[in-house]
Amino acid sequence: MNVQQLFASFERIVDSPDSVAKLRRLVLSLAVRGKLLPQDPSDEPAIGLLGGEQRRDAAARYGDEQHSSPMGWIAVRAGSLISLTKGRKPARLNQEGAGLPYLDIAALEGSRARQFSDDSKCPVASVGDLIVVCDGSRSGLLLEGRTGILGSTLAILRYSGFCRDYLRVLFNALYEDLNTAKKGAAIPHLNIPRLLSKTLQLPPISEQHRIVVKVDELMALCDRLEAARAEREAARDRLTAASLSRLNTPDLETLLDDARFALDALSALTVRPDQIKLLRQAILSLAVRGKLVRQEATDEVASKLLEHIAVENTRLRDGKGLRPQKLALPVANLESDVTLPGSWQSVYLQDISYQITDGTHLTPSYTESGRPFLSAQNVKPFKFMPARHRFVSQEHFDAYRANRRPERGDVLMTRVGAGIGEAAVLDSDLEFAFYVSLCLIKIPTELVSPDYLALWLNSPDGRESSRLRTYGKEASQGNLNLGLIRTFKVPLPPTAEQIRIVEQVNRLWSICDGIEASLSARDNCRTQLLEAVLHDALESAEVLEEAA
């Protein structure tokens, strides 16, 4: 399959988010290696573009490589054809109306040059110069020059042997190789030494112009492919939303079938696993609003259940030697109610818990070994993950656990950090101390299902309750005050219905798991197919070149 055949059948072959980007990279790679177009014997060879010293440099360095270069091309060191003069920050800025404009990327892309300066040590760009961006998210971008002092993130690019538009093609082809971020750094920068030391294949000037025309043509086709894919994705989104809407007003007799229908349709309509996440959230919303399973007349209503919970909480608290906790006063503007089934009741979290507390506020004294010490990183939605933890001494362990002893069946929730409000049931007998970033919620598990409580805390309604009550969101990642956690408005079903809800959610989520696995396998197959097709196109180009 050659490049033209690849473009003709591309939409039928792949449909992954990065497929067109990979196709663009293939086009550029072929272009700068002389494999995008056949060579024309009538072209004046590229060696004629070199001066005497450049020819001697090419012969001395790349004699063997010249034999493998495309017809009329010549292998040269980039530094013999390209020079870069980096800009610098002037000594004086903000002197409006005096000196030369201060050029940064914004000024070169059309904005007014807001700062003026006069500094003889700074390089000055002239109209017609090519400017390369050296640092930032756009490093490697080539821009047209204007008269002015050059900023420190830019460099003047001077060259010989290239037509200007082909040089843009070349820089785009080298983009990923030359734009690197140091390990641990977020801002990419143009690796100038690597650029200048690279071996380039220089085409005849006539072929450079033909390559630019062909690349522009193929990139325009890529644009159309991208637009077509975006249109298909929008249609998929609409169809997916229509499938999910079947769950908004569920018929409990056919809910499982409706969910299977939505999932089956979803797998056919989307290539993105994020749609499964939306479905999971929809299932959670239905679950905690009483729309997932049927209410049974034989279930004890939640108002009666609440009386039993109060008695059981007192018994458990006294038996564990815990002091009654001061009740928090609800905040009026955080109150929210949804319509619940008649057998349910909206209650505050403190009404169904006999302890809501957090971990030690002291800075832990970590040790190389000892007793486990956990923090917010050990809790994700529905997952208690104690494997990666720190250690503290036995003395500190005992002090940190005073009046806060996690047990199997408790619920842990993050209250500090990036994932505030994420909750999981403690499903282990591990003894551990924990940090202030975790909240411990103890409930009477014979009457309140910890799995149901975790469902609500991780549901859209529960996460919104956490978001509304989080302090300090502007200054940091924020924290969730314990007193406000106690005022979470929790929809409480009868105990038996809580168990049915958890079982139904697990059944539906197992279907989601299967669809996610299918999507992952499909994506892997598509990626392999794409790589095979691109490799085949590259091989075809190699064969065409050898035949020529």
Are 71 and 41 spatial neighbours (Cβ–Cβ below 8 Å)?
A: yes
What's the CA angle centered on 316, arms 314 and 319, to 5 degrees?
105
Helix (H, G, I), strand (E, B) or coil at 464: helix
pLDDT band with cut points at 50, 70 and 90 for residue 389:
very high
Helix and strand totals (H; E) in the chain: 16, 26
Residues 235, 239, 244, 248, CA torsion sign: positive
- Alpha helices (H) in 246-359, listed in sequence order: 255-269, 274-287, 302-319
More confident residue, 10 or 176: 176
Nearest CA-CA partner of 12 in 547, 412, 529, 472: 529
Looking at per-residue confidence, does 313 or 18 come out higher? Answer: 313
Q: Are 409 and 451 in contact (CB under 8 A)?
A: no
Alpha carbon separation from 372 to 14, 242, 426, 429 (Å, rounded): 48, 48, 15, 12
Three-class DSSP category at 363: coil
Backbone angles phi, psi at 280, to 5 degrees: -60, -40
Out of 61-65, 75-79, 207-211, least confident range: 61-65
Q: Do 350 and 328 form a contact (C-beta atoms < 8 A)? A: yes
Average the pLDDT over each of 187-191, 282-286, 364-368 and give the range with the smallest value: 187-191
Amino acid identity of 95? Answer: Q
**Torsion, CA 360, CA 362, CA 364, CA 365, rounded to 10:** -130
Listed range (41-55, 135-149, 471-485, 486-500) with the worst mean pLDDT:
471-485
Q: What is the mean pLDDT of residues 167-179?
A: 87
Question: What's the confidence (pLDDT) of residue 547?
Answer: 42
Average pLDDT over residues 52-78: 81
For residue 257, count CB atoms less than 10 angstroms from its CB and return exposed for 0-12, middle for 13-18, buried for 19 or more. Answer: exposed
Q: What is the pLDDT of residue 475?
A: 45
Residue 41 has pLDDT above 60, yes or no: yes
The span from the CA of 432 to the CA of 438, in Å, is: 12
Cβ atoms 80, 54 nearer than 8 A: yes
The predicted model scores a pTM of 0.62
Whole-number Å distance between alpha carbons of 450 and 435: 21
Side-chain half-sphere exposure of 293, counting CA atoms within 13 A: 24
pLDDT at 543: 42
**Which amino acid is residue 253, in one-letter code?**
E
Contact 358, 438 (CB under 8 A): yes
Rounded to the nearest integer, the mean pLDDT of the chain is 83
- As a whole number of angstroms, the distance between CA 210 and CA 212 comes to 5
Give the mean pLDDT of 268-289. Answer: 77
Nearest Cα neighbor of 144 from 160, 164, 169 is 164
Contacts of 223 (CB under 8 A, 6+ apart): none
Q: How far apart are CA 392 and CA 394, in angstroms?
A: 7
DSSP letters of 82-130?
Answer: EEEEE----S----TTSSEEEE-HHHHTTS----EE--TTS-EE-TT-E
Q: Determine the average pLDDT of the residues in 58-86.
A: 84
| DSSP bridge partners of 82 | 159
The pLDDT, as a whole number, for residue 24 is 87
Rounded percentage of the chain residues whose pLDDT exceeds 70: 79
* Angle, CA 88 vertex, CA 82 and CA 91 arms, to 5°: 155
- In angstroms, what is the C-alpha Rg of the chain? 33
Distance, CA of 116 to CA of 103 (rounded, Å): 9
Q: Return the H-helix or E-strand segment holding 249.
A: none
- In this predicted structure, the answer to whether residue 210 has a pLDDT above a threshold of 70 is yes
> Given a cut of 70, is residue 548 above it in pLDDT?
no
* pLDDT for residue 143: 84
* Most confident residue range from 120-134, 145-159, 494-508: 494-508
In 3-state terms, what secondary structure has residue 381? coil
Contact present, 317 and 355 (Cβ < 8 Å): yes
Lowest-confidence segment of 5-14, 179-188, 360-369 by average pLDDT:
5-14
